[in-house]
Structure formats: C-alpha cells, structure tokens
Structure 1
Amino acid sequence: MTKTRRLRLLASLGGALAAGAGLGLGELTAALAGGTSPVVGVATHLVDMAPGPAKDWAVKNLGTADKPILIGVVLLGVTVFALLGGAIGAWKPKVAVVMTVLLGLLAILAAATGRTLAANHFVQVLPGIVTLLAATAGIIWVLRALNLNPFGGGERRKAAVAGGSKQHASGNQLATGRNASGDQLTDGRDASGNEVADGPDASAPAGFDRRGFLVTTMALGAAGVGGLVVSRVLPNGVSEATRTGIKIPGPASRAGAVPAGVSADVAGASRFVTPNKQFYRVDTLLTVPKIDPRNWELRVHGMVDHDLRLSFADLLGRRLIERDITLTCVSNEVGGPYVGNARWIGVPIAEILREAGVQAGADAVRSTSVDGLTIGTPLKALTDGRDAIFAVAMNGEPLPFEHGFPVRMVVPGLYGYVSATKWVVDIEVTRFEDFSAYWTDRGWSVEAPIKTSSRIDVPKGFAQVKAGPAVAAGVAWAQHRGITKVEVQVDDGPWQPAELAAQDTIDTWRQWTFRWNATPGNHKLTVRATDADGQVQTADRAAPRPNGSSGLHNTVVMVE
C-alpha cells in the first residue's frame, strides 16, 4: 500500500471516529439535559420534510420499523460523510474541518427549527453544540497526529502526502532528486543503486505519530461508544414502575358489561379487546416521551371566557368515565392492521370546555403534543354528546408510554390525525380558518369522519382450506354509527349475509363469521359492511390520502 493511500485511509478512519465521538457525547448530553438528540433531531426533520407519498409508503410497507430504519439511514449518511471528509483531509485538512463543522451545524439547526421535548431553547440545541465542539476537536486532533495540521505546516503536509523526503540508508538527509554530490537519484535509490529507506517505518506517512494516532483514535472511539451506551442506560424521564404505580380512581360512570357473544369464536380472528402491547402505534416521534405526571400540565385557552391550567392530579380528581372505543388510523389501507379496540378511562372533554366557556364563533380545537405537533378537531365532535375524553387509562392500567402517557385524547368516530393527540399539553379553542395543523399542512383533509369498513381476518390470503364446510371471520367498524350488516361474496356470486357477533356499543368494532361450502379450486372471498345509517361500504377503491382508504377487502383461498 502506498503512503498516500495509507494516509487517506487513516485520515478517513479518524474522520469517522471524530464524528462518532461527537454524536456519542451529543446523545449523552441529550440524556442528561433533556435536549434534542442530534440523530433524532435530524431524523425528525427528515420526517417533517418528507413528501406525503414517501410517508404513506413508509407507513404501508415498513410499519413501526420505519423509525429504526430512518435512524439507521441517518447514521449511515453521517458515517459516509465523515469517512469522505477524513479522506479529503489527507491533502486538504481545512476542508475536513469544515465538513465536520457542517455536521455539527446540521444537528444544531435541526434542533433549533424542529419539534422538541426540551424545556427551553438553549437546552434544546445544547446536544448539537456539544456534537459540533467534540467532533471538530476530534478531527483536528486526528489531523495533527497524522502531521496534517489544518492551521499551519503546509510544506510538511505536502511532503507527507507526497511520501516525504527521502533518507539514505545511513540516515543522512538527501536532497530531492539528487544526492549530496549532485548525482541524479532514481526513485528510491541512490546513484550507486542502493535502496533509500523512508525512515523507521517505510509504510508510514512522513511525520506520522503512530502512538499519538493510536491514542487519539482509541479516545475518540471510547467517547463515541461510551457516550452512546451511557445515554441509553441513564434514566430517561419517569420509569415504568412509576407509570404502573399510579392509582387511577374508579370511574363515576363505568362502561356497560360487554355482552356475551361479542367475539367471533374462530381461531385467528381478532380479539374483541386489543391488548395494549398489540395495539397499533402510528406517530411521528422517533423516541417515546416519558413525561413525569407531576410536572405535566394541560393549558386550555383561546376563544374561551376563562383560561384553565390543569395538573394530572386535577384530572384524576374530576369525574372520570369508562368507555369501550375503537380507534382507527387514517393511514390504514383496506384490510390493514391499524385499527384496535380498547377500554379507556378519562375526563369528558366537553365538561372542561364548558367550564372554560366556549365563545361564539369557535368551530375548532387545536391540540398540541409535548413535542409541538398540532392536531385540529371539529369543536362539534367534542361537545355533541359523544364520549370524547382526555384519557388517562387504557385496558385497566395507566396509559402506556407509547400510547400517550400521562394524557391523550380519544374521540369516537374520527380518524386519529384529527382527534387522538397523544402526550397532549395544550388545547386552544379557535376557528379552522385561523390555523392549520401538522397533517393538514401535508395534504390531509381538515375533517375526517371514519368510513364504514370491514376486514377478513381468516382465512389469510392464499391459505389452504379443505373442501367442505368452511368458515371465514373478521371485523367491521363505523364508529359512532355502528354496524348493522356484513355480507360476504364468494367469487362473483351473490352477496350472502354473515353472522354478526353481539354489538357492544356503536363506538366499537363488530365481529362477524361466515360459513360456506368450499369446493376444490381457488376462490376469492370479499366482504362489505353496512352501517346504522344504511350506508353500504363502497367498492370504489381509494388510497388513505387525503381522508381514509375505501374499497372492499378480499382474500384468495386454495381449496383442496
């Protein structure tokens, strides 16, 4: 390997380690101070800047894996950029420093202009500042160990890149191209043909401080790995034990007993109540907030007679109600998994708005999450008598961190992007014409009532079924209207009624089963539902954007 190539490889490695040290120490600072993680800040900025179709593709094809994949892409991009910067630094050290500074500035800019969980602006950008300083100091340290001082020593740098001045085997310095007597030298040999040595290590660049470089790279590596590891083991907000230890008072109004027969007694069909760990999660946060409920506060303001500030204890001291409500994400494709049913406990939103005194002319509520994400909800949906709540519990326990602990909104009949604000901290009564929310800024509809939909759970696509009596099962939903009929079509035959399970409430999904005589061959099963308003689920196919998918779910089975 030539000296020039070796030098570039060493500088490239040093550049990557310097960037890694900066990121590791930045992550540690974020864990200690509560600012924006450099990696998460950049990744969140990419999420916010991504075009709608890209987000739709990620939700559809990657599911909850989209977040770790995006983090990996950011880390890969930083690594490649740092490797390239280090390699360039082998002959242009100042450029390597500038490229490293740019990485740090990117982290600061992403934190300064993006959504954040930090308490103040300086804390918000502090991890980015640490990343900038540590990475810049690291690359300068690396370059100096390689005798590539970016702030001086230009002639030595040129000599190092060119392979350095030669020495005779005896150790005497030789002039470039000639010996001391003026005789012309061939490359690497003197006039007598004797080989010219390059110093103690012929493969090392001139002026190369092997020990200094080793110490430098080990220190940078330790800073990067150590900072990352420690940041992951440090307590981040309240603990799981603190969350589960919260005692939720008994609700003043309990949910009615779930009727017998609400579940389809078919293996593989959805459970009527979706366990918390299996409940879908679709949001834009790359790290889950772990908010201390003792510090949480809900502000109610805007077009109201009286501003309110409510603590978590204030909410728990109010009248709580318990309700079974099915939630659906607008990103759910036809037949998709982003729908689930749970039992919630919370404070009726209408009661809090009534206490604040909503002023005439208001038609919307803008709710804000702890990270600054905004959602716009029709005021009518919060005050028309439906069980819209500030939820504090889910399926018998305090809200899981992933689902909005300590408080989130739950509104029956609306897709989540216009109603289900998690980690909610601010409620502003306003008018739709006076604001735009996060998702509506990205091409989604302002109002989004849930469409009548149905899904086949079993048999799965291309499942093998034995000829003879067979059964299909699934769920249908039309929250706040209810399901009155489900029909199944075999191939192109007539629509046949399915057997409906008992209905809990109009705000929950309804399960169904269909028994049919399976004959050998491939068959297509298609399902459709009818809601209590008499609206039959449309067969017109539409993508989720801008207000929810539509179309009929079908599955092909192979009967043998």
Structure 2
Amino acid sequence: MRDKWSQHTTAAAGGVIAAGAALSIGYLVAAVTGGPWPVDAVGVQVIDWAPGPVKDFAVRELGTADRPLLRLGICVVLALVAAAAGVVGRRRPPVAIGIAFLLGLTGLVFAGFGRSAATGVERLLPAIATLVAAVVAMALVVRARTPQAEQPDGFDRRRFLLTVSALAVVGTGAFATTRIATFGTGEAARAKVRVPRPADAARPVPAGAQVDVPGVSRFVTPNSKFYRVDTLLEVPRIDPADWELRIHGMVGKELRLSLADLLDRRLIERDITLTCVSNEVGGPYVGNARWIGVPVADVLAEAGVRNGADAVKSTSIDGLTIGTPLSALTDGRDAIFAVAMNGEPLPFDHGFPVRMVVPGLYGYVSATKWIVDFEVTRFQDFSAYWTDRGWAVEAPIKTASRIDVPKGFATVKAGPAIAAGVAWAQHRGIAKVEVRVDDGPWQPAVLAAEDTIDTWRQWRFRWTATPGTHKLTVRATDADGNVQTAAPAPPRPNGSSGLHNTVVMVE
C-alpha cells in the first residue's frame, strides 16, 4: 500500500511540474507579446461571469487582495487537475495528454473571446504556447513514468527524475526571466512624459482643510494609498507613443487624439474626490487627489455634438465599457480627460496614460481608466458593462460621512475626547456634519476649511467620554440641504446609504 501511494505521489508531482512549466512558458510569451496570460484570461472571464453578490463580497471583504487570490485559486485548481492527470497517465498516457490539451484549449478559448488589452494574433500567442508546452510536457512525464516490468520500481526512476527536473528548471527559468525582464516595465516611457503647467491651476489647498487629529485620512490621498477597484488581473502598461483616443458617434467631426495632442491642449488642474459605488457605509473606497487634464467639454465642443445625444459610451483598452450622462460632461463641472495625478503622470494602476474623472458621479459611470474610445450616443442604443450586471444607469454620488477616529472598539480614557473623520457630497459640497453619542441629540461638529464642492471635507467633534461602552454616529448635510439618509441600503444598484457608527469603550 505504501509503495502504491508513493507511486501515485510521484506521478501526481510529475503532472503538477508539467503544468507549472507550461504556465511559466505562457507567462514568458505573454510578457513578450503583450497578450493575456491564460490564467489571467480565465480569471477575467470568471470575474465577468461571477454573480453580482459574489463580486460584491469580493470587493467588500477582500479589497485589492481579490485579484491575487483569484489567480492563486485558478492555479490551485489547475495543479489539482494536473496532479490527477499525472496519476491517470501511469496506466493511460493518452488520457493524461488529452487532459493537458483540454486545459490548454480552455485558456486559448478564453483568451480569444474574453476581454483583453491585446488585439489580433498577439492575444492568442501566450495561450497557444501554453497549450503546446502543456501537451509536450505531459507527454514527456507520462512517457518517463510508463510502467516497465524489468525495473525494480516498475518504471525508470532515473529517467523520470531527469525529466521532471528538466521541466522544473525550464519552468523556473521562464518564470524568473519574465519577472526580471518585466520589472519596472513601462516606467521609463511613463517617466519621459512631461505634463505641461496647466493654464488653469488649482488654488492651494486651504491651510485648515486638514484637521489636526492623528488617524484622520490625509486630505490629499497619496497615489500609493488611493483605492483601486477594477476587473483586471494584470494592469495594462500602455506605451504612451502608441496610445490614441477616438472620439466619434453622434458628432459632426470625428477626432483621433494622441497623448501629445492632449498635452498640447488647454489643461486645467482640479482637486476632486472620487468614490466607488462598491463602497459600504464607512468604507475605504474614497480618495481625494489633485488632477490635471483636458476638459471633456472642450473636446466635445470641437467634435460638435449632434441633437438627440444624451450619453457617452467610453471604452477601456481591455474592452470594458462605461456609460456617462452627456449632461454631466457639458454642464460646467470639471469633467476631464486626466493625464496627471498629484503632480505626476497617472500611475499605471490608475489609468496611465489617460483616464476620465467626473466630479459627482460614481466611478462605474464616469471614471474610465486606460480609455481608448469615446462614443457620443444615446442610452437607449447601448448598455454598459456594469449596467448589464444590475447596476443603475445613472449614479450621482450620495451624501455620506465616515468616522476615522476613534476606530471601532477602541479604548479611550474618560474625560474630554475627540472624534473626527470625513464627509463628501461631490459637486454639491458639505454644509454641516453632526454627531450623536448613543441615543442623545445630534450635535454639530466643527468643519475643516472647504477646498471645493468637489472634494471631501474633514470634521472634528469634542465630547465628554464617561466610563462604559458608547456608540458614536455621524451624519452629513450637503449644501443643497439634503440630510444624509439613515435608511440602510447596500451598494447595489446605485450606492450604499445609512449612517456610519463606531462603538468605543471608555475606561
């Protein structure tokens, strides 16, 4: 029994090593061609097919860890299937090779029909390389593992070890070469982009915009800390020299703009807070940055919008579509094709070389990253990626507030205490923030200085902490007089609502 278990184990290990070598070769080809690695092609399709509640759970509970965990999960499944194929291959080599072929074919199909930043044959090459490598590697393993009556172990152990060792070396070498060769890919090209001084610069952030309370979010969110929510496992690293934005549809004149064309236009600089519709009450998916870009209205005016248009369908380089009300791009708000974020060209994670930023709308209807296509159209003539998945067509940001300090279940000392946080109602502004201790009356908090109506606003509240457990609750009122609703609602379909609270223990 022990000898049989040992044979199964070595056969399974051979199958896993064969699959690992094939995936590593595909990873290398993906780096060279720009096509999707089969694991990522499958992962994007899993994201697209996942039911809404599953997506919501992943964003809420896993945050940015959802992508590496999805990759890991796919690799684990592949490893298990490959291990089973290795075991089956001891007696039925053709079956094992057939399993390897089917796994490779699955990656090829997803690469061909799924969303990808690559076009043409390039999008298929990594999957083709993986398929061929998987079949060859599995064939070598099962051949080396074929039972032989004259051998003490039933097979040529030396030949098997040499085969799997060679495959392991090939796989490790391909993976390591890819990681080394792609380290910092695109950074040199991004570093060469020089964003001119904007013709219309933002005013300095008011000195009193940041409350002096440790633990409160920084008024300007650093690029490295800015939230990221999207559907890609691998961030596009676009060569700015190859990038182009097509403006077409219901316009008098179609435009095709390179990055150089945009940088030669009138640039404006604005402080704008962005919020993801997936943000739960009190959640982290909100951030404030200083953006530089070309006003969308200027480009639309040049193209000439035809009568009857009421929407714009913008498309990312990977094929994801977003629908934006035309009125939000032409009503005077600072909607821009952003080229810089906090004083530097856009980071790759946040849409380099160009993305959209529209104050007052949730990102899924406005903040297209890696944008390449901009079609003026009508809502009745298309449906966008997220609206196909149950989200609202139009989504103005709801008035919201959050307690940053004290954290939930923190322990504070009895006596004078401070609560502080942020509130936002982009393109309306925050007029008032109130805090309630337990079930007491609503009391006004002190507002920090307002930068603009398109940015969040910080607040602080002094209260007398008495021994015991207490609940602090916050609510905001926007400049239009709308009081933040206490009625709870999940993010789907048009943003969460309810009041954020935190429980503290007072010594």
State TM-score, norm by structure 2: 0.98
Output the CA distance in 2 between the equivalents of 1:105 and 1:504: 55
In the alignment, is residue 224 of structure 1 matched against residue 224 of structure 2?
no
Output the CA distance in 1 between the equivalents of 2:277 and 2:443: 29
> Cα distance, 1:480 vs. partner?
0.3
In structure 2, what is the equivalent of residue 146 of structure 1?
145
Residue pair 1:238, 1:292 contacting (<8 A) in 2 also = no
Q: Deviations over 1:88-117 (max 9, x none)?
A: 122222211111111101110110111112
Are residues 548 and 212 of structure 1, via their aligned partners in 2, closer, same or farther at CA, if it must alter by over 3 Å?
same
In structure 1, what is the equivalent of residue 460 of structure 2?
513
> Cα distance, 1:20 vs. partner?
1.2
- One-letter amino acid matched to 2:45: H
- One-letter amino acid matched to 1:101: F
In structure 2, what is the equivalent of residue 392 of structure 1?
339
Q: Deviations over 1:106-139 (max 9, x none)?
A: 110110111112131x211111111111111111
- One-letter amino acid matched to 2:144: A
Residue pair 1:453, 1:477 contacting (<8 A) in 2 also = yes
Residue pair 1:237, 1:291 contacting (<8 A) in 2 also = no
In the alignment, is residue 268 of structure 1 matched against residue 267 of structure 2?
no
Greater shift, 91-100 or 452-461, is seen at 91-100
In structure 2, what is the equivalent of residue 51 of structure 1?
51
SS at match of 2:69: helix
Among residues 254, 260, 263, which one is paired with 1:316 in the alignment? 263
In structure 1, what is the equivalent of residue 483 of structure 2?
536
- One-letter amino acid matched to 1:375: I
Output the CA distance in 1 between the equivalents of 2:186 and 2:98: 41
Residue pair 1:31, 1:236 contacting (<8 A) in 2 also = no
> Cα distance, 1:4 vs. partner?
4.7
> Cα distance, 1:11 vs. partner?
2.5
Query: Greater CA radius of gyration, 1 or 2?
Result: 1
- One-letter amino acid matched to 1:42: V
> Cα distance, 1:220 vs. partner?
1.2
In the alignment, is residue 472 of structure 1 matched against residue 471 of structure 2?
no
Residue pair 1:454, 1:552 contacting (<8 A) in 2 also = yes
- One-letter amino acid matched to 1:328: T
In structure 2, what is the equivalent of residue 133 of structure 1?
132
SS at match of 1:375: strand
> Cα distance, 1:6 vs. partner?
4.2
Q: Deviations over 1:195-217 (max 9, x none)?
A: xxxx5x53x11xx2233212211
Residue pair 2:93, 2:143 contacting (<8 A) in 1 also = no
SS at match of 1:261: helix
| Contiguous gaps of at least 5 residues in structure 2 | none
- One-letter amino acid matched to 1:145: A
Output the CA distance in 2 between the equivalents of 1:541 and 1:104: 46
- One-letter amino acid matched to 2:117: L
In structure 2, what is the equivalent of residue 211 of structure 1?
158
SS at match of 1:473: strand
SS at match of 1:326: strand
Are residues 520 and 7 of structure 1, via their aligned partners in 2, closer, same or farther at CA, if it must alter by over 3 Å?
closer
- One-letter amino acid matched to 1:55: K
RMSD: 1.4
Output the CA distance in 1 between the equivalents of 2:229 and 2:414: 40
Residue pair 2:473, 2:499 contacting (<8 A) in 1 also = yes
Output the CA distance in 2 between the equivalents of 1:5 and 1:490: 64
Superposed, which structure 2 residues align to 1:483-494 within 5 Å?
A: 483-494=430-441
Are residues 264 and 100 of structure 1, via their aligned partners in 2, closer, same or farther at CA, if it must alter by over 3 Å?
same
Output the CA distance in 2 between the equivalents of 1:76 and 1:146: 23
Residue pair 1:238, 1:291 contacting (<8 A) in 2 also = no
Are residues 238 and 118 of structure 1, via their aligned partners in 2, closer, same or farther at CA, if it must alter by over 3 Å?
same
> Cα distance, 1:342 vs. partner?
0.6
In the alignment, is residue 367 of structure 1 matched against residue 314 of structure 2?
yes
Superposed, which structure 2 residues align to 1:7-46 within 5 Å?
A: 7-46=7-46
In structure 1, what is the equivalent of residue 182 of structure 2?
235
Residue pair 2:39, 2:74 contacting (<8 A) in 1 also = yes
> Cα distance, 1:237 vs. partner?
8.3
SS at match of 1:332: coil
In the alignment, is residue 412 of structure 1 matched against residue 411 of structure 2?
no
Output the CA distance in 1 between the equivalents of 2:358 and 2:177: 40
Output the CA distance in 2 between the equivalents of 1:556 and 1:514: 15
Output the CA distance in 2 between the equivalents of 1:296 and 1:545: 33
In the alignment, is residue 307 of structure 1 matched against residue 254 of structure 2?
yes
Output the CA distance in 2 between the equivalents of 1:133 and 1:332: 43
> Cα distance, 1:238 vs. partner?
4.8
Residue pair 1:361, 1:431 contacting (<8 A) in 2 also = yes
SS at match of 2:206: coil
| Contiguous gaps of at least 5 residues in structure 1 | 149-159, 165-198
In structure 1, what is the equivalent of residue 280 of structure 2?
333
- One-letter amino acid matched to 1:441: D
SS at match of 1:406: coil
Output the CA distance in 1 between the equivalents of 2:505 and 2:6: 61
In structure 2, what is the equivalent of residue 358 of structure 1?
305
Output the CA distance in 2 between the equivalents of 1:141 and 1:368: 44
Residue pair 1:501, 1:512 contacting (<8 A) in 2 also = yes
Q: Deviations over 1:307-328 (max 9, x none)?
A: 1100000000000000000000
Residue pair 2:90, 2:146 contacting (<8 A) in 1 also = no
> What is the number of equivalent residue pairs in this alignment?
507
Residue pair 2:189, 2:240 contacting (<8 A) in 1 also = no
> Cα distance, 1:544 vs. partner?
0.4
Output the CA distance in 1 between the equivalents of 2:279 and 2:5: 52
SS at match of 2:279: coil
- One-letter amino acid matched to 1:46: V
> Cα distance, 1:259 vs. partner?
2.0
Q: Deviations over 1:219-260 (max 9, x none)?
A: 211122121111222237853243233211010101122222
In structure 2, what is the equivalent of residue 429 of structure 1?
376
In the alignment, is residue 92 of structure 1 matched against residue 92 of structure 2?
yes
Among residues 235, 242, 247, which one is paired with 2:194 in the alignment? 247
Output the CA distance in 2 between the equivalents of 1:352 and 1:232: 40
- One-letter amino acid matched to 2:37: S
SS at match of 1:541: coil
- One-letter amino acid matched to 2:103: L
Among residues 324, 334, 355, which one is paired with 1:377 in the alignment? 324
Residue pair 1:237, 1:290 contacting (<8 A) in 2 also = no
- One-letter amino acid matched to 2:316: S
> Cα distance, 1:146 vs. partner?
2.3
